[in-house]
Amino acid sequence: MKVIKRNGSEVGFDIDKIVAAVTKANETVDEPLRLTSAQINRIAQFVELYCQAMNRSPSVEEIQDQVEIQIMAHGAYEVAKHYITYRYVRSLVRRSNTTDEKILSLIECCNEEAKQENANKNPVVNSTQRDYMAGEVSRDITERILLPEDIVEAHQEGLIHFHDSDYFAQHMHNCDLVNLEDMLQNGTVITGTLIERPHSFSTACNIATQIIAQVASNQYGGQSISLTHLAPFVDVSRQKIRKVVEKEMEDIGVTPDPEKISELVESRLREEIRRGVQTIQYQVVTLLTTNGQAPFVTVFMYLNEARNEQEKRDLALIIEETLLQRCEGVKNEKGVWVTPAFPKLIYVLEEDNITEDSPYWYLTQLAAKCTAKRMVPDYISEKIMLRDKGDCYTCMGCRSFLTPDRFTEAGIGNIANAGNYEPGKHKYYGRFNQGVVTLNLVDIALSSGGNLQKFWEIFDERLELCHRALLCRHERLKGTLSDAAPILWQYGALARLEKGETIDKLLYNGYSTISLGYAGLYECVKYMTGKSHTDPEATPFALEVMEYMNAACRKWKAESNIDFSLYGTPLESTTYKFAKCLQKRFGIIPGITDKGYITNSYHVHVTEEIDAFEKLRFESQFQTLSPGGAISYVEVPDMQDNLEAVLQVMKFIYDNIMYAELNTKSDYCQVCGWDGEIDIIEEDGKLVWHCPQCGNEDQDKMNVARRTCGYIGTQFWNQGRTQEIRERVLHL
């Protein structure tokens, strides 16, 4: 069994250290008040058994808490007092400088929690370490100076999660939809250099990747771009290539028929599209932004977003090439094709591509093949999204959705000065999310002790706590000058404001959203009703909880003119943090706190046996009640030889749920060449990745890709998330 030290590093569990610590406290009290040697050993043994029951690595603090409890359980209150006093003195010493040890452990790469905090950050490389070091300083300032004490305490105790506190000290927002169309069509500025409208598709792709990198370096969340904004440049290149071909024919004295020229032009155009798409694919994968990871970017593929039939056909060419290249993958350091984490792809299912006789069915077949091999694209149903939101548009990053704007009814018009603004039409590109605070629903349930009246009372208290925490995020952004991130606020990515102008007007009237996240609906309902929320007797309570949070968001929005929206949080490291906090506060409760993770948002528990179609049908009602963002998934085996089944799931998504994905496995062992699934096994109380063919357990010598929580992770995960991944059951 491993133990997590205060600086984040791992050591083996040593029962003798507990015996020594208790003995030391024991010797400071008078003889009649002391514990016997047998009692001290019994305390140490009980603590060891308690830690083993956690099914994860305990922290030093958790071990010491249990030691205190056991000393007092033996009636040795004077011994307990001396033990507690010693802990308190040591904590004061540590508190005199809260960041040194963590930063040093980051530099020496011995901080296990930091290593596993983000499944797409390599903590060994200098750029990531620099970002983490800055993050520790920012987090320290945030907790000591910038946030109210009760919000900090609630965050530390796991009642809520104040997301990305390591970026809060700076005036940075969360995620956005990049207005790539405005930047390409009307020009932009990158690091002081004017970038004019590109004169070819390949140049447009190159500029797009530079914009992606710049945007990623000036925010902390995901971004999305649409391939539709690149489509007009296909015809720009077509006309350019045609002139070149005609000149070549003229120079050699040949007069081919127009059809032959068109064939040659389209052949060369296809090659340029291939190069342009390859630029986006490889640039995104190989770029490292200032936060030490590849840009978290989503690429949106929506045929019906095109303005005319020619543009739609050209968009189809780009989508086809994007899917072909993603299906192929990228080569790892051994030269083997593997699955990259980014860019995330979203493919819209619509009338033109959903049936065998529709004109773009071939793209849907290619998307199914790509999903079976590389886990992307994910799927948005135009039909369901139009029903639920009135428009079809992409999320920001992996799942955060904007609400339709209120610009017309509010009479505010083009407040961002976008060059492509269309009066009377909803605007999505150029808008953003201010930040997220997540509510731990499981803690509310457990704190109520199962009493329904007390549950709603505590719910109200926690909602107001989240409300105040979200307003802290909003207030932190107020007063931000456009000069803080010119690519975002001055040169078109989000707005074209004047130098020295604040972004304040973009924080109201529905231009941006701010998100109330939630986690653990399954465990909350299970504790309060004794049943899974999939049980017809428990589902109404689950829906009532969802509606209660939506009602709070509507109330806050009416009071402030800020667009609060309910968001199904994609827990990564937080799922482990919440689980540890719950165990500390309430102990091990079978079926509720007995795992190293809690369930993401409204999802069906990963261990629950349920059919893929029933899962999607059931979760669709909760997705509708998460207007600020949510995504559902089905866990499937290797489907590369069963694409018909993939297509059936895709058709079901089109008819039943707005946004969903299929989770497959995509692994490779660099030691023996195994390209099947890498196993997760338990060794000395710790979950490790294990090649079933050669036994390799060196994470640096294997490529593992798993859907983490709406996006693909490739840098491995904390113990809680790893346990969740191991326990997932197949739905198909």
Of 404-408, 594-598, 627-631, 672-676, where does mean pLDDT reach its minimum? 404-408
Is 224 part of the annotated catalytic residue set? no
Q: What is the DSSP string of 401-417?
A: -PPPP-HHHHT---TT-
Residue 714: inside a domain: no
- pLDDT reading at 112 higher than 70: no
Is 175 part of the annotated catalytic residue set? yes
Strand partners, 177: 224
Is 553 part of the annotated catalytic residue set? no
Of 66-75, 170-179, 593-602, where does mean pLDDT reach its minimum? 66-75
138 confidence band (pLDDT: 50, 70, 90): confident
Residue 375: inside a domain: no
Among 183, 395, 396, 553, the active-site one is: 396
**Token reading at 40:** 């001290």
Among 567, 576, 602, 659, the active-site one is: 567
Helix (H) or strand (E) holding 668: strand 666-669
Residue 516: inside a domain: yes
- pLDDT reading at 205 higher than 70: yes
Among 174, 202, 353, 381, the active-site one is: 174
- pLDDT reading at 214 higher than 90: yes
Q: Mean pLDDT across the stretch 211-220? A: 93
Amino acid at 540: P
Q: Which of 379, 383, 375, 384 is nearest to 399 (CA)?
A: 379
Strand partners, 301: 347
252-282, pLDDT tens digit by residue?
988 888 899 999 999 999 999 999 999 999 8
> How many whole angstroms separate alpha carbon 416 and alpha carbon 182?
12
Residue 102: inside a domain: no
Most confident option among 128-142, 409-423, 494-508: 494-508
Helix (H, G, I), strand (E, B) or coil at 285: helix
Q: Which of 496, 626, 471, 499 is nearest to 560 (CA)?
A: 471
Q: Mean pLDDT across the stretch 640-652? A: 96
Helix (H) or strand (E) holding 720: helix 719-727
101 confidence band (pLDDT: 50, 70, 90): low
319-359, pLDDT tens digit by residue?
999 999 999 999 888 888 888 888 999 999 999 999 999 99
- Is the bond into 340 cis (omega within 30 degrees of 0)? no
Among 202, 224, 433, 565, the active-site one is: 433
Helix (H, G, I), strand (E, B) or coil at 380: strand
Q: Kindly report the average pLDDT of the chain as a whole number.
A: 91
Domain that holds residue 440: 147-174+405-599
CA distances from 682 to 111, 241, 672, 686, 722 (A): 20, 59, 21, 5, 11
291 confidence band (pLDDT: 50, 70, 90): low
Of 46-50, 106-110, 302-306, where does mean pLDDT reach its minimum? 106-110
144 confidence band (pLDDT: 50, 70, 90): confident
CATH number of the CATH domain containing 524: 3.20.70.20
Strand partners, 349: 381
Report the pLDDT value the prediction gives residue 54, as an integer from 0 to 100.
79
Among 492, 710, 713, 720, the active-site one is: 710
Residue 648: inside a domain: no
- CB burial string 453-476: b at 16+ within 10 A, e below: eebeebbeebbebbbebbbbbbeb
Among 181, 572, 635, 661, the active-site one is: 572
Report the pLDDT value the prediction gives residue 298, as an integer from 0 to 100.
95
Q: Mean pLDDT across the stretch 444-451? A: 98
Is 433 part of the annotated catalytic residue set? yes
Helix (H, G, I), strand (E, B) or coil at 256: coil
Answer for the pair 447, 174: CB distance below 8 angstroms, yes or no. no
Report the pLDDT value the prediction gives residue 559, as an integer from 0 to 100.
97
- pLDDT reading at 489 higher than 70: yes
Is 710 part of the annotated catalytic residue set? yes
Q: What percent of the chain has pLDDT over 90?
A: 70
Give residue for tokens 């799922």. Answer: 575
Helix (H, G, I), strand (E, B) or coil at 524: helix
CA distances from 647 to 367, 379, 643, 655 (A): 9, 11, 6, 13
Among 165, 400, 512, 550, the active-site one is: 400
Among 51, 175, 183, 553, the active-site one is: 175
Q: Mean pLDDT across the stretch 420-445? A: 96
Q: What is the DSSP string of 436-456?
A: EEEEEHHHHHHHHTT-HHHHH
Amino acid at 254: V
Q: Which of 54, 51, 50, 57 is nearest to 8 (CA)?
A: 57
195 confidence band (pLDDT: 50, 70, 90): very high
Q: Which of 506, 501, 507 is nearest to 486 (CA)?
A: 501
93 confidence band (pLDDT: 50, 70, 90): low
127 confidence band (pLDDT: 50, 70, 90): low
Is 567 part of the annotated catalytic residue set? yes
Among 385, 398, 581, 639, the active-site one is: 398
Residue 526: inside a domain: yes
Is 429 part of the annotated catalytic residue set? no
Is 549 part of the annotated catalytic residue set? no
Residue 398: inside a domain: no
> How many whole angstroms separate alpha carbon 10 and alpha carbon 706?
24
518-544, pLDDT tens digit by residue?
999 999 999 999 999 999 999 999 999
Q: Which of 601, 507, 518 is nearest to 563 (CA)?
A: 507
Amino acid at 104: L
Answer for the pair 589, 573: CB distance below 8 angstroms, yes or no. no
Q: Mean pLDDT across the stretch 353-368? A: 98
Number of domains in the chain: 1
Residue 386: inside a domain: no
Answer for the pair 120, 715: CB distance below 8 angstroms, yes or no. yes
482 or 124: which carries more pLDDT confidence? 482
DSSP assignment, residue 144?
I
Count the Cβ atoms, other than its own, within 10 Å of residue 100: 12
